[in-house]
Structure 1
């Protein structure tokens, strides 16, 4: 009788694998028990096919709970499925002595598994097979005959076991082949270039020095607006500080090599650069600060893994799926709550990498129309970010960014351009309006527009009453225009702010002499 049960068990398992596309998860060493699963868009069915005999209901119930708990702990179950059902099929000689009918269908004792169904298929209980096929919504009927000759039956059973193991082995080899389509050569090259560029920055003024970063190609909106769009590429190889470099290179080592193994060398580097460009454009459109790093390209590699998951959901979720999704969500949330993180570049790169993966497609995949659509979508995406960035005055006229720009222009003695830029920026200013007025007054002084300079300085000190530099320049302008009373008032205000300042004291004495 036992050899007959073995034959039925293996016949059912093989049918599930060949006809119903179930995947073998585990099998016991003596092949007394098989565990399989099948994932659909909304439902996941886990099937246990066992020859274990249980005399009592409590033993059966304990076994069901133990196996479900073990599966939940050791197998990566999907998070976003609407329903996960666990089917326990026991092919036995006789049923438990006491009633077990309440176990036929019940809620699972675990948190992730929704339904627990038990089937006891004994000699006179073939209707249990029918109930299982209906509950699992199987598409193909199972029909077979059991040979009366025990030797022949044993031989057929061994053939079934061998076929099951061969299908499982082929599936494992298919997974291994997916992850060996390219040697991760370019990932290591990129890591080396990034490290070399970091040491170059450190030797030329420091990787955290804004002037050094701008000089060597960081993302700098001002420069890009003046035509330096090459910064989108060069900024991908610069990092701000050792921690930034280490974090990104660690990600490139693990994620980059994985993507390169899946997509191959050429596809990998195309995805990397297209994602980096998308991340850079998103940063230009959404972030006014100086920025650098490979984060946009790295998030693009996550996008490539998500694209792989859509094309190969079975392999994706069996190997790395939930880990990738968790890391992406965690990093996006981290960027939302940490202002220093360039979340625009991260999300922009993620989307860019996903679209770029559709452009290059997976190896051995040909979908010309889909690739053409992906190319068009990528072009619209990049130019859409560009158009938004050029019209996003809150970013492009960010007061901090423009003050940096104005300071550089003053060093270059481009005073007319300073007055123009400050005038364009003031309507968008929030906290640095007084400083912008001060810099514009400085430019007005150099082009001898003294009345405009006085107006700017008067507005500046009205906004920021303790602005010493503005009060000092204003006092000097009043003195130059022979408005000695106003000059004296401004100087007295300076002494109230800092009575020990020698320059303020000297100016005060000079004004006293002029009055006398």
Structure 2
């Protein structure tokens, strides 16, 4: 079993505290720390960091922390604590930013269609209600994007996953529902392609921020590729 390295140990501890302590104290920190749509009244710039320490349920937390430990430990051992922390937060923040940009595009596209139908922008915003389900698909889209905050370390973890695949391409990986070991250089691109497919189609199961995953993977790839290319100059 891999030993728990310093940065990963502290990241896991903070994530566990941020999940269980508010529940034990009967507090809901979603409006403060989850990543909201920028037009939402609860949006705060700090949420690009804090949403990484919020999770939607125990299995969400468990999966992310297990992946962080399994794939992040070899990276921290290779890079060192400070370099790994920089990478982790860069991937997580980058994931949030890319997720927001995609949401902005989808929000404005749906909003423009509604405006062209004759409804005013003020009327649209007056209709937005997280407790309601609308028949109009564009109103559904605007309402969901405006009122659904994002939580979880998945974006940062996807960055870690990609960097792991680049550093250890022949490592064998498997999923519970697909227990056949596959080399990381094939397995990881397949997972990212799956997120891309579900992100651009209507086949996604559950409320999953696929473009946050893709964003974290993209930022992770860029940083890991740059470090690998320039390793002799930065070491």
TM-score by length of 2: 0.64
Equivalent residue number for residue 137 of structure 2 = none
Preserved contact between residue 224 and residue 231 of structure 1 (Cα < 8 Å): no
Give 1:296's match in structure 2, choosing from 155, 161, 168. 155
- 1:344 maps to 2:211: yes
The residue correspondences of 1:148-297 to structure 2 (distance < 5 A) are: 184-205=5-26, 212-215=29-32, 217-222=33-38, 228-287=44-103, 288=145, 289-297=148-156
- 1:365 maps to 2:231: yes
CA distance in 1, matches of 2:40, 2:166: 31
The residue correspondences of 1:37-186 to structure 2 (distance < 5 A) are: 184-186=5-7
Equivalent residue number for residue 325 of structure 1 = 186
TM-score by length of 1: 0.31
SS in 2 for 1:317: coil
Preserved contact between residue 221 and residue 290 of structure 1 (Cα < 8 Å): yes
Change in CA separation of 1:362 and 1:225 when aligned onto 2, cut-off 3 Å:
farther
SS in 2 for 1:201: helix
Structure with more contact order per residue of length (Cα contacts < 8 Å, sep ≥ 6): 2
- 1:355 maps to 2:171: no
Equivalent residue number for residue 146 of structure 1 = none
CA distance in 2, matches of 1:224, 1:263: 38
TM-superposed deviation, 1:259: 1.8
1:195-236 C-alpha deviation (Å, 9 max, x unpaired): 000012313546xxxx63113x10011467887211000000
What count of residue pairs does the alignment treat as equivalent?
A: 176
CA distance in 2, matches of 1:274, 1:334: 20
The residue correspondences of 1:382-401 to structure 2 (distance < 5 A) are: none
SS in 2 for 1:340: coil
CA distance in 2, matches of 1:327, 1:246: 20
CA distance in 1, matches of 2:214, 2:16: 24
- Where structure 1 has 5 or more consecutive residues not aligned to the other structure, the ranges are 1-179, 310-315, 369-516
Change in CA separation of 1:242 and 1:281 when aligned onto 2, cut-off 3 Å:
same
1:460-485 C-alpha deviation (Å, 9 max, x unpaired): xxxxxxxxxxxxxxxxxxxxxxxxxx
CA distance in 2, matches of 1:205, 1:212: 10
Preserved contact between residue 31 and residue 42 of structure 2 (Cα < 8 Å): no
1:43-72 C-alpha deviation (Å, 9 max, x unpaired): xxxxxxxxxxxxxxxxxxxxxxxxxxxxxx
CA distance in 1, matches of 2:58, 2:171: 35
- Where structure 2 has 5 or more consecutive residues not aligned to the other structure, the ranges are 104-144, 174-181, 199-203
The residue correspondences of 1:455-466 to structure 2 (distance < 5 A) are: none
Preserved contact between residue 36 and residue 42 of structure 2 (Cα < 8 Å): no
Change in CA separation of 1:235 and 1:227 when aligned onto 2, cut-off 3 Å:
closer
Preserved contact between residue 220 and residue 290 of structure 1 (Cα < 8 Å): yes
Work out which of the two has the higher radius of gyration on C-alpha atoms and give 1 or 2. Answer: 1
